[in-house]
Amino acid sequence: MTLTLTNARLVDPEAGTVADGSILVEGGVIAALGDIVPKGEVIDCGGKCLAPGIVDIGVKVGEPGERHKESYRTAGAAAAAGGVTTIVTRPDTRPVMDTPEALTFAMRRAAEAAPVNVLPMAALTKGFEGREMTEIGFLRDAGAVAFTDADRPVRDPRVLIRAMQYAAGLDALIVGHVQEPGLSAGACMTSGPFAAKLGLPSVSPVAERMQLERDIALIEMTGVRYHADQVTCAAGLAVLERAKASGLRLTAGTSVHHLTLNTFDVDDYRTFFKVKPPLRSEDDRMATVEALASGLIDIVCSMHTPQDEESKRLPFEEAASGAVGLETLLPAALQLYHAGHIDLPRLFRALSLNPARLLGLPCGRLSEGAPADLVLFDPDAPFVLDRSTLRSKSKNTPYDGRRMQGRVLRTLVGGKEVFAR
């Protein structure tokens, strides 16, 4: 199939440019771009922005075990509507994704039901128990793109060292959740006067710094490739900057929720604002935004965590953590662009190019030969988010009722349209 997308503003995160032009798609890949003669089917982009599709790391899907919260079908539909062309799934399913058989099942279900690319991560330790590492080699051969125990850090450093050494030998990627588990157990707020006023259990940001420093020491020892999934506070950023300057194979991400919300959003005890790690102070939020703009933070993800009404309609302390984010990732992230914190190429470097590079994927860029995974969006379109319109099975978004600016118009995966507004 031949397709030409004309009259677009091409957002190129690799070149760092936004330029008028067109893209020719042939056989599912970008065949040419720039000032070209249209061929085949023609789509007029109306002067809107055309960028590489988003690669979202750390998406939770409820299959198997919690399909009532999210299935591959609904997660895929939400991703397509959000301009996410590749979702990288977490292994915190029921049972945990810690065997090649479980991984094969998930990949088959995803291929049947989701219109976007789905790549799985596998567990780092069996059953997330932190006692025995999984068969990393077999899981990698079965399709795992990275290894993680999701939001349950491996407590025993001896177990983590063995896993890191094995992973380093295979050049496999480990994704770590940098929250010291002893300090952060049971906490649902960041410590401070506001948490004390609300009377909620809290944790200091130092828990992030401590875990990051421990894991960095082990990265130095083993030479493993490591990605910290969410760095969210100034104390952690300072540690990250020193480690990166020393040349370690270390990257870092953060969630769009930590870039756009702060601890004061919890004021009315709304459990949709309960995420893990908890929302930070405004100073920490701004430090994280600056780290994203400078490139110290490499990746922005949705940390999509669907929770049903029963899990959220509880007192704040007892409610489940997490928020859905696949469909709101781009409009929420565009808040940073509209506020003047970051330009569009840099934003898409964090949303598309850097996660693709981290996982060795050919997508995430606008260049000849790259997969035609693309998102067309209007960065200026205003709307009020109504959570009942989300495609996810679960509707636990902190942006419900919020005025947002920026909407996805079309999403293409391999040159095939999977969403159009």
Gap between the Cα atoms of 374 and 3, Å rounded: 13
Number of domains composing the chain:
1
**1 pLDDT higher than 90:** no
At residue 337, the pLDDT reads: 98
Find, among 10, 6, 8, 1, the residue nearest to 366 by Cα: 10
Residue 414 counted as domain residue = no
Chain segment 146-160, per-residue pLDDT in tens: 999 999 999 999 999
Tens-place pLDDT, residues 345-384: 999 999 999 999 999 999 999 999 999 999 999 999 999 9
pLDDT at residue 267, rounded to an integer:
86
- The answer as to whether 53 is a domain residue is no
Asked if residues 53 and 413 have their Cβ atoms less than 8 Å apart, the reply is yes
pTM of the model: 0.97
113 in any annotated domain = yes
Q: Per-residue pLDDT averaged across 117-133, rounded?
A: 97
Share of residues in the chain with pLDDT > 70 (%): 100
Confirm whether 29 is domain-assigned.
no
Average pLDDT over every residue of 205-231: 97
Q: Tell me the pLDDT band of 268, cut-offs 50, 70 and 90.
A: confident
Q: What percent of the chain has pLDDT over 90?
A: 99
Q: Mean per-residue pLDDT for 270-294?
A: 97
Whether 132 is covered by a domain: the verdict is yes
**Averaged pLDDT score across all residues of the chain:** 97
Confidence of residue 127 (pLDDT cuts 50, 70, 90): very high
Strand order in the sheet with 225-228: 173-176, 225-228, 250-255, 299-301
Return the CA Rg of the chain: 20
Residue 199: pLDDT above 90?
yes
Does residue 291 sit within a domain? Answer: yes
Tell me, yes or no, whether 300 lies in a domain: yes
Q: What is the pLDDT of residues 247-267, one digit of tens each?
A: 999 999 999 999 999 999 998
Give residue 80's domain range: 70-365+382-402
What is the helix, strand, coil percentage profile of the chain, to 5?
35, 25, 40
Q: Positive or negative, the Cα torsion across 202, 205, 210, 211?
A: positive
Asked whether residue 35 is assigned to any structural domain, the reply reads no
Per-residue pLDDT band at 308 (split at 50, 70, 90):
very high
Instruction: Please report which confidence band the pLDDT of residue 87 belongs to, taking 50, 70 and 90 as the band edges.
Output: very high
For residue range 35-60, what is the model confidence (pLDDT) as tens digits? 999 999 999 999 999 999 999 999 99
Whether pLDDT at 214 is above 90: yes
Domain containing residue 175: CATH number? 3.20.20.140
